[in-house]
Amino acid sequence: MYHPNIINEFMSSQERNAVVAANTDAVALSNRAGAAMQQGRYQEAAALHAQALALKLRAYPESSIQAGISLNGLGEALTRSGELEDAEKALLKALATRESGGPRIDAAVTRDNVGALREAQGRFEDAREVRLRGAQKREMMCGFYNCPNNKMFPLNSLSACAKCKAVFYCSKGCQGKDWAARHKPLCQANETATAATAAAAASTSGAQSAENTAATKGEQTAEGNAAS
């Protein structure tokens, strides 16, 4: 929901000061957070985004576009720093705000951030599902955080990771960079877990089959003895 950055005569001095701070101090904090994020200082970025959010919430509701910007940035930073529970809270709030109104690219960006969070949580099916929510409207993002295109794509312009199918890229270059910077250990861990689950299921199925065979043979032997 859009809330205009307007000061009017009916506002109290406290309300006016809150709007000014939300559009000066909070913006400066957000810019510092963005710089920290680019330099890999994720905990610092999260702290700065949290400070910016607190200032914005003095002037705007949590459902505002202004708060959504900081919630999204906070969620990104917390995901990168491994604070996944708090990251989920921030990103889901940002997603609810951004999907209900505002620029469509903002919603697409947050969907991809939720996808990255789900990967970090080992929930690859959920990562794929949330990213594909934008497919029908041709509103998907490249999965590389620093993609130079910074625009939305239709699904047929993107390529999924061949292993996990949960993340999508606009080019081989972006895929290679994301593989090296973020996706590789997550995807490999998912592949290992999937293989282990399949092996366990096969082992259980084999054991059950052997039990059934033994039981059948036992019944047949008992019937044969009874007939004798």
Residue 221 lies in a domain: no
Residue 92 lies in a domain: yes
Residue 176 lies in a domain: no
Range of the domain at 16: 1-102
Q: Specify the pTM.
A: 0.82
Q: Judging by beta carbons within 10 Å of its beta carbon (0-12, 13-18, 19+), is residue 190 exposed, middle or buried? A: buried
> What pLDDT is stored for residue 7 in this prediction?
52
Residue 96 lies in a domain: yes
Residue 43 lies in a domain: yes
> What pLDDT is stored for residue 203 in this prediction?
76
Residue 2 lies in a domain: yes
The alpha helices in the chain, defined as continuous H runs, are 13-23, 25-38, 42-57, 65-80, 84-100, 104-120, 124-132, 172-178, 184-227
Residue 167 lies in a domain: no
Residue 60 lies in a domain: yes
Crossing angle for the helix pair 104-120 and 184-227, to the nearest 10 degrees:
60
pLDDT per residue of the chain (228 residues) written in tens, 0 to 9: 555 555 555 566 676 677 767 778 999 999 999 999 999 999 999 999 999 999 999 988 999 999 999 999 999 999 999 999 999 999 999 999 999 999 999 999 999 999 999 999 999 999 999 999 999 999 999 999 999 999 999 999 999 999 999 999 999 999 999 999 999 999 999 999 999 998 888 877 666 766 766 666 666 666 666 655
Tally of domains within the chain:
1
What CATH number does the domain containing 12 carry?
A: 1.25.40.10
Tokens of 106: 């903002």
